[in-house]
């Protein structure tokens, strides 16, 4: 019995020894692998990223819009209204009315200006709708009405080829940059409206730039 016990003990010790040996070898392999990685990493220092010289940034500046438009060249159009005579009803204290009369005369209009106290009476007499009214009313000897700062170009076109249903043209209010309303080269797009006999209105011309008035 003791013999078998000794044999079992001997085998058990051998088995334990093998297990311990395997564990030690495994530990050594793991340590060696770790050292190998460390060593490899240490033996090849990380190369710094190549320094790329910063490219100077060129700042593109958007062209700034001019506060004032390019000055419109003065064009001699004295023959546009040379055969037209008209009466201009205006306020005595309205400077832009005077400017428009001078402008129309420079384009050939034979104008007679009348300063009146109540302009609305004349606007009603000549059937100018409330929403189409401006600071002065011009009535030709043929009875056509031109309300406000109408360009001479469009007056001449209208008189040369008058629509059958129309009584005249109007530029409502006082758009900056329209004839007689020049101010520091500024310009506001506007519309020339056609006044019809039945009281309706329609767009006769859209003025998008000062050159379109010439």
What SS3 state is found at 212? helix
How much is the pTM?
A: 0.66
156: which residues sit within 8 A by CB, 6+ positions away?
80, 81, 84
Angle between helix 152-160 and helix 95-106 axes, rounded to 10 deg: 60
Please name every residue paired with 142 in a beta bridge, in sequence order, or none if there are none.
Answer: none
Count the neighbouring beta carbons within 10 Å of the beta carbon of residue 208: 11
How far is it, in rounded angstroms, from Cα 68 to Cα 77? 24
pLDDT of residue 71: 47
For residues 126 and 137, the answer to whether their CB atoms sit within 8 Å is yes
pLDDT of residue 60: 36
| pLDDT digits (tens), the chain, 214 positions | 444 444 434 444 444 444 444 344 444 333 333 333 333 334 334 444 444 444 444 343 333 333 335 444 444 457 899 999 999 999 999 999 999 999 999 999 999 999 999 999 999 999 999 999 999 999 999 999 999 999 999 999 999 999 999 999 999 999 999 999 999 999 999 999 999 999 999 999 999 999 999 8
């Amino acid at each position: 019995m003791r013999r078998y016990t000794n044999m079992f003990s001997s085998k058990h010790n051998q088995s334990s020894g093998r297990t311990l040996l395997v564990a030690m070898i495994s530990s050594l392999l793991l340590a060696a692998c770790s050292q190998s990685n460390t060593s490899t990493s240490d033996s090849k220092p990380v190369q710094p990223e190549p320094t790329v010289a910063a490219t100077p940034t060129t700042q593109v500046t958007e062209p700034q819009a001019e506060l004032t438009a390019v000055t419109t060249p003065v064009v001699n159009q004295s023959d546009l209204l040379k055969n037209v005579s008209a009466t201009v009803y205006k306020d005595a204290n309205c400077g832009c009315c005077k400017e428009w009369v001078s402008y129309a005369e420079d384009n050939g209009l034979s104008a007679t200006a009348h300063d009146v106290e109540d302009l609305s009476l004349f606007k009603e007499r000549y059937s100018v709708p409330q929403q189409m009214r401006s600071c002065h009313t011009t009535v030709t000897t043929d009875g056509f009405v031109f309300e406000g700062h109408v360009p001479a170009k469009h007056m001449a076109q209208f008189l040369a080829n008058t629509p059958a249903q129309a009584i005249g043209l109007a530029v409502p209010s006082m758009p900056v940059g329209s004839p007689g309303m020049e101010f520091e080269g500024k310009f506001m797009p506007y519309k020339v409206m056609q006044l019809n006999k039945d009281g309706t209105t329609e767009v006769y011309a859209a003025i998008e730039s000062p050159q379109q008035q010439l």
